[in-house]
Structure 1
């Protein structure tokens, strides 16, 4: 597996979220292009990390059930219609499959994108669980797509819409992001090949690449520039990933052709021109440049990625780790002016986490793991409604707003698609490794198996509901092996570390790694505790507007359901801006002001006895107590995240 790791773990597929050893381990010849950069940390395969019972596993299980419940015939229907195929193949008495709704409806120009996300999500679920039901679903979908591709007989073109959409895009005519949709399909096929061992998927995607190469290599630079003005997702990343598998220079050329000069050149020059730019059009381009850097070693690509990430963290990121207002980047640093009902498109955070994983493997810097934790707990985990498994598009931060969730088969927004992936790969960033030892980056109940070192490491915790996580060595080789335990930047109250019950002196400081290096024995136990405290995090441009946090967790005030529409919080309109209105019908008397500051917060906000991460504040301006709980837990009601401080 060493060769695989050199190829993959430096960043492939967002620093691979787990390649199925049952497949790749027997097909080393599949690895054609190795990374050209030095790597500080490698990702583990998804199959090497098993989630134990927790909210994360619950979310993943709900997402898996949803994906399995979507009928193959309905998912393929629009593809078959586009190919002029008979959609009722069994008999004249068989009920015709109904097309899916929302963004997958037959009159939507983005139709077909969800099947790509589904292939990725199903593949991650299969790698994480080994459940053969996911594999069978993948194989059925790809068999159907291969049949559509053969029927179309257009040099390998495959989509649920005609090539005319691409032609319109190339000419600069109005069309809704056809390359974006194709990116999802290409990425899903690659994931199915790597994580589920579906060789037909590689055949289908190779044929798509043949078509794409013929389609766009004859274009002039002016034509390419016009084409790339339209959103194309991470098309560059997908072609680079295919090149890494095949070594075919045409596939690398395709990735190069999706270099968008208008967006990327200013970033390479250290110029911030993000204001008003459509955020999720820009972010996936950066992931593509991360792959380009790993495959070529070109320092320009690295500078683009690093500058972009640092800029977004400093100037664009809300307290929950999200970014964007009404899908666009805001004026740099002006967070307080953009606290609306349309903040935090969830796709953006999904893609920022992909970039973050690349950066972590290059440098093994704890700041990347700190951001990953914040965004994962406060945004991604809370994207899913635990009652139904449905997911939200925006994560509104306007005082008194509420989350609005998709429906099962009648919305299929972009964030439904990325949610299929995000909610299916929680094991991807808990652990990393270098040549010697293991990084423990996230405190999520799980079992890690590192076959090369004979290590089986079990992590048990109720974090963040408790401050302590416990690591047990279930098996280990004879050599010394360091554990690098993340010492979060937020943990200013210190840390307690015990090995087999004995206190260990810690010399490191927050924002670093605690190294525990020894010859471990089976049954050895490590206990790490990070005391959490209440604190305020103000917006960078206005210290009088702030969120309440407990350790890394954003707390939100419960505001009830007054004046919420009867069908809230679920909605299936194709346009997410048609949720209700920009004001969410917020009651005029809703309180969102606190008489609190950093010095008296612990006096005015108290833990609720017997509650779990539940607090009450009497510091409201009207004197009425408000219950605070983690933002990721607050569903189907109004809330306040950012408070006006008096």
Structure 2
């Protein structure tokens, strides 16, 4: 296995101006040197391998073979895999198989990987120039770009659905097959593909490259930096620099947070690339930009489980209300990429604060995103109290979070341990074994965290080294206890640092560590009165079932929006609430008897409506149920007022949700993609925290009305948009001629338009194509909201 990129050591190739690796570089261990022992993490790893082996490689390969002009052996998978993002899972699949092989030595995973590579090689050879992709009609699109015909939007490039993002997955998959599975074939294919991409980029100006980077492009800059490190050729690093989006990088270099309103997971991979390029070129400014981004996201934009964003976008740091109100909470892909960035930053500076975030996100978002019985994977994890999650199935759901998800659960071993010279860092308390070959040492770690509050490390072999044992911030100062072979060790460290033990270790040496845990509150980052509860490294949650005899389907179908838990939202004024003079109620929470962690809820938690006798358990163990992570809090004096406000706000919100058949958030990437956005001469942006779209020609969406019951189309505008006239058509039937005259003030407003019966008659398969067509010398829009409704109600302001 290649230690080269597995450890992501800095400056380890002879690029211009670079020297060989310094002896004290921080490194993680190859996955093949770490093996998980019995724990929730190992269970997740094993379940995930069953899931990926249940997937049909020929169906994943079909888009690549088709694009190369070869006959596929099976049809594409459905969902995103046959509606424009064809082939994106195939790249993730290479990575997932490579990781599974490295982490476990599973022979079937290796055989499956070799088969995938052989078939992809046939497709690449047929192309003849190194090109390899499943993007439908992709080669023709690249030719348009080379000729200067560039039409870029957030999620389209020359009318293709994020083709740069798509092709990045096969770049990354080939890279990982080389790094983790030692495949020379994969490396040859990666270099051929990289040379093809370099040839395309070489025909574009820097301005044109920046133009195409407006479209989501994954971590293309990262992977070209990786190819530079693998090959030692600086030309690939030059491409990595070119593929770095300056519109995002420039504010970060100036330490400016311009993230509000941006599609979150479009940005995180870019920053990973900034960090990689900065590391390889010793560019402190790019490295600092990546660290600044991490600090802003983790400290100001992240909730208790380690995730971020609502409806995939960064919201205002001073207002997390949408996090509580919306059902499209933190996206798993975001945390997948934040952990990659965290790892890079840690390798530059082994600060325990990076591991604090890494551990929190690993236990509470990544681990919880897998159904432990089926291996199904989660897209959105709602923070809205008493909502729920949807899980994928191997044959049905092909979302981005399935692609990153099948990678996640074979990577648990990558950050448990790290080393720097003679220092061995123990970062995570996950049961595992480590083979430190250079020292002739094996380390065996056993525990039952979070059910037990201790871990034991046993040494096999004899060697002198310094053990750097993480003192987690969730252990109170002075409470950690360390003993070697039964003899207490004086601890001179503080929470959020490392305990240093320098000695000559002998075969059989045993280190016992006591890690007392306490229940703590963690407020929503905007300071509003919602609190999560933590216990050691885990976030606690409770099953809350407000509706009697409710039967929800927790497993997604094959529809474009199957990943969204679109069942009824529970009225928030009926949800359990902590009512106390202060936050001292946390001291009343007691652990319940039993081997597995469960805690009581105190009398200050006011329940009802079927929510009596709640128990708090680790969130990663709570599945196929409604749940609450963030609990509202009030003093007794404010309770009545808060409940009245919640009831008023939520009543209107729930009534609107019940009226709504389908909706689109214009300018937001995934909602538009899920509604098959199309258009010409169209732009999107953010104004006063609201996304918009307009066009000097036309744009359209496909709305679903399966029961043909639509009565009203509600469109949201901005009151000061002026001098714009356009038509609104539904299934080619004109339903409105709109003039925006800028006379509605500095606010948003909505207009309801009746849906004619003729529109419903023409709605084949319950689909209504909604089209906005600009008038002569005018613009259609801006459109800030689209909602198809069952009945007419009072249009909402804003």
TM-score by length of 1: 0.90
Cα deviation for residue 574 of structure 1 reads: 4.2
- What aligned pairs does 1:104-183 form with structure 2 within 5 A after superposition? 104-105=81-82, 108-162=83-137, 163-166=139-142, 170-172=150-152, 173-183=158-168
Tell whether the 8 Å contact from 1:276 to 1:329 is kept in structure 2 after alignment: yes
Cα offset for 1:303? 1.1
Q: 2:591 matched to 1:614? A: no
The equivalent residue for 2:715 is none
Check whether the contact 2:225–2:277 (CA below 8 A) recurs between aligned residues: yes
Instruction: Give the Cα separation in 2 of the matches to 1:564 and 1:404.
Output: 19
Show the 5 A alignment for 1:145-294. Answer: 145-162=120-137, 163-166=139-142, 170-172=150-152, 173-294=158-279
For residues 247-295 of structure 1, what are the alpha-carbon distances to aligned partners after superposition, in whole Å with 9 as ceiling and x for unaligned? 2333222212211011111101111100010000000001111111221
Question: Relative to structure 1, is the Cα distance of residues 585 and 6 closer, same or farther in structure 2, using a 3 angstrom cutoff?
Answer: closer
**1:39–1:185: structure 2 CA closer, same or farther, 3 Å change rule?**
farther
Task: Find 2:76's aligned residue among 99, 107, 110.
Answer: 99
CA distance in 1, matches of 2:198, 2:550: 50
2:290 is aligned, of 300, 305, 324, to: 305
Match of 1:525 in 2: 510
Q: Is the 8 A contact 2:482 2:489 kept in 1?
A: yes
Please name the residue that 2:365 is paired with.
379
- Give the 3 Å change call, closer, same or farther, for CA 616–273 of structure 1 in structure 2: same
- Bigger CA radius of gyration: 2
| Contact 1:481/1:520 (<8 A) preserved | yes
Does residue 394 of structure 2 align to residue 408 of structure 1?
yes
Structure-2 change in CA distance of 1:5 and 1:580 (3 Å): closer
The one of 356, 370, 382 equivalent to 1:370 is 356
Q: For the Cα contact (< 8 Å) 1:401–1:639, is it kept in 2? A: yes
Structure 1 segment 506-585 matched on structure 2, within 5 A: 506-560=491-545, 562=547, 566=551, 568-576=553-561, 579-581=564-566, 584-585=568-569
User: Which of 616, 620, 628 in structure 2 is aligned with 1:640?
Assistant: 628
**Structure 2 CA distance, aligned partners of 1:561 and 1:80?**
50
The CA deviation at 1:361 is 1.0
Deviation at 1:160, TM superposition (A): 4.3
CA contact (8 A) 1:336 1:539 kept: no
Q: Say which is worse superposed, 383-392 or 484-493, in terms of deviation.
A: 484-493
Contact kept? 1:548, 1:554, Cα under 8 Å = yes
Query: Are 1:484 and 2:468 counterparts?
Result: yes
Secondary structure, in 3 states, of the residue corresponding to 1:374? Answer: helix
Q: Give the aligned partner of residue 325 of structure 1.
A: 310
3-state SS in 1 of match to 2:413: coil
Tell me how far 1:165 sits from its aligned partner: 4.0
In structure 2, do the counterparts of structure 1 residues 563 and 269 end up closer, same or farther at CA, with 3 Å as the change threshold?
A: farther
Query: Are positions 1:631 and 2:619 aligned together?
Result: yes
- Distance in 1 of aligned mates of 2:301 and 2:7: 29
- 1:528-572 Cα deviation digits (max 9, x unpaired): 111111111112322521111112211112113847974621113
Cα offsets for 1:322-356 (capped at 9, x unmatched): 00110001112433442231111000000000010
Give the structure, 1 or 2, with the largest relative contact order (CA under 8 Å, sep 6 or more): 1
The answer on 1:65 being equivalent to 2:53 is no
**Does 2:578 correspond to 1:602?**
no
| Cα distance between partner residues in 1 of 2:584 and 2:25 | 40
Question: Of the candidates 445, 454, 460, which is equivalent to residue 459 of structure 1?
Answer: 445
Contact 1:6 1:34 in 2 (8 A): no
Asked whether the 8 Å contact 1:443–1:461 carries over to 2, the reply is yes
> Displacement of 1:645 after TM fit?
0.8
Change (3 A) 1:562 1:34: farther
The aligned counterpart of 2:737 is: none
CA distance in 1, matches of 2:569, 2:316: 27
Residue 381 of structure 2 is aligned to residue 395 of structure 1:
yes
Post-superposition offset of 1:134? 1.4
The 1:10–1:130 alpha-carbon spacing in structure 2 relative to 1, beyond 3 Å, is same
Between the aligned partners of 2:189 and 2:133, the Cα distance in structure 1 is: 9
C-alpha deviation, 1:7, in angstroms: 6.6
CA offsets per residue over residues 36-60 of structure 1, 9 Å max, x none?
7896521111111011111101111
- Residue 109 of structure 1: how far off its partner (Å): 1.5
Q: Deviations over 1:65-85 (max 9, x none)?
A: 111222222121122222222
**Residues 317 and 126 of structure 1: is their aligned pair in 2 closer, same or farther, counting only changes over 3 Å?**
same
SS in 2 for 1:277: coil
Match of 1:354 in 2: 340
Q: How far is 1:599 from its partner?
A: 1.8
Summarize the Cα distance change of 1:133–1:379 in structure 2 as closer, same or farther, 3 Å threshold: same
Change (3 A) 1:62 1:621: same
Number of the residue aligned with 1:23: none
Deviation at 1:592, TM superposition (A): 2.9
Q: CA deviation at 1:577?
A: 6.8
Q: Is the 8 A contact 1:385 1:405 kept in 2?
A: yes
Query: CA shift at 1:204, angstroms?
Result: 1.4
TM-score, structure 2 length as denominator?
Answer: 0.74
Call closer, same or farther: CA 1:315–1:588 in 2, change over 3 Å: closer
SS in 2 for 1:599: helix
- Partners of 1:562 and 1:587 within 8 A in 2: no
**Structure 2 residues not aligned, in runs of 5+:** 153-157, 635-798
The answer on 1:47 being equivalent to 2:24 is: no
* Gap runs ≥5 in structure 1: 17-27, 89-96
Query: In structure 1, what is the equivalent of residue 708 of structure 2?
Result: none
1:472 matched to 2:458: yes
Please give the root-mean-square deviation of Cα atoms over the aligned residues, in Å: 2.5
Deviations 1:428-487 (A, max 9, x none): 00000110121000000000010111110000000121110000012233xx21111100
Give the corresponding residue for 2:281.
Answer: 296
Taking the aligned partners of 2:389 and 2:168, their CA distance within structure 1 comes to 28
**Partners in 2 of 1:100 and 1:7 — Cα distance?**
32
Q: Partner of 2:329: helix, strand, or coil?
A: coil
Distance in 2 (alpha carbons) for counterparts of 1:157 and 1:52? 38
Q: Choose between structure 1 and 2: higher strand proportion.
A: 2
Question: Are 1:10 and 1:39, in contact at CA under 8 Å, matched by a contact in 2?
Answer: no
CA contact (8 A) 2:206 2:242 kept: no
Is contact 1:39-1:362 (8 Å) kept?
A: no
**Could you tell me how far apart the structure 1 residues matched to 2:92 and 2:319 are?**
33
